A and B are shown apart, each in its own frame.
Chain A
């Protein structure tokens, strides 16, 4: 099956610092990756769609200058939370989309997530 990794799995930082999260597709190329955020006991919230070689598309209400996304290669997308504040503390999860072949559909596989705590 398709494997997606994320690094780091957990990060604690001081308010005002920036944090970079990496998302990698390990055994397939992903032209499209997605970044989600999930607060405790809530559903996934899509933050942005990351396309290789182009600017990310952000969902309404997500600040693009605060959540910088770079999709530099077909296997790597990064999310940088700039000037993090306690309200940014959350579980950040990426997913990578496989390209559906004949008889199958495009499918998103999720990374293990990064738990961010901002003090």
Chain B
């Protein structure tokens, strides 16, 4: 079982719709969770960090964390073609020494 799992996609959404991305993790002691966006040929860019159960909103993005169920999700509202990218879920396991464990990424395609 992978430590951090994501559906590879592609997740195809029409422009203006909500894109919903999910991520599950295996280390129950994990405390910090991150979503990064990576455009093709570019490096990852931080979108959100979350470490408390519940929702965290930043502009069109909402991260949701449920530690009991060991999942973290990202919602993208009013999706734009510029949101087309690969979204990486990253988890800092309890005994990782500050290292992040990344999921394989979900590719999102927003169609005009």
Contact = CB atoms under 8 A, between A and B. Distances in A.
Interface of A: 1, 32, 34, 43-44, 46, 49, 57, 91, 93, 97, 104-113
B99 A107 contact: no
Nearest to A106: B98
A32 B98 contact: yes
A113 B51 contact: no
5 contacts: A43-B104, A44-B88, A110-B43, A110-B46, A112-B42
Given A43-B104, A43-B105, A49-B97, A106 B32 contact: yes
Nearest to A49: B99
Contacts of A105: 31-32, 49, 51, 92
A71 B42 CA distance: 24
Given A49-B99, A105-B32, A107-B34, A113 B42 contact: yes
Interface of B: 31-32, 34, 36, 41-46, 49, 51, 88, 90, 92, 97-100, 102-105
Contacts of A93: 43-44
Contacts of A1: 46
A104 B51 CA distance: 9
Interface of A is mostly: strand
Contact of B45 (A49, A97, A110): A110
Contact of B46 (A34, A46, A49, A109): A109
A107 B46 contact: yes
A26 to B, nearest CB: 15
Contacts of B31: 105
B43 A113 contact: yes
A29 to B, nearest CB: 15
Given A105-B32, A107-B46, A110-B44, A44 B102 contact: yes
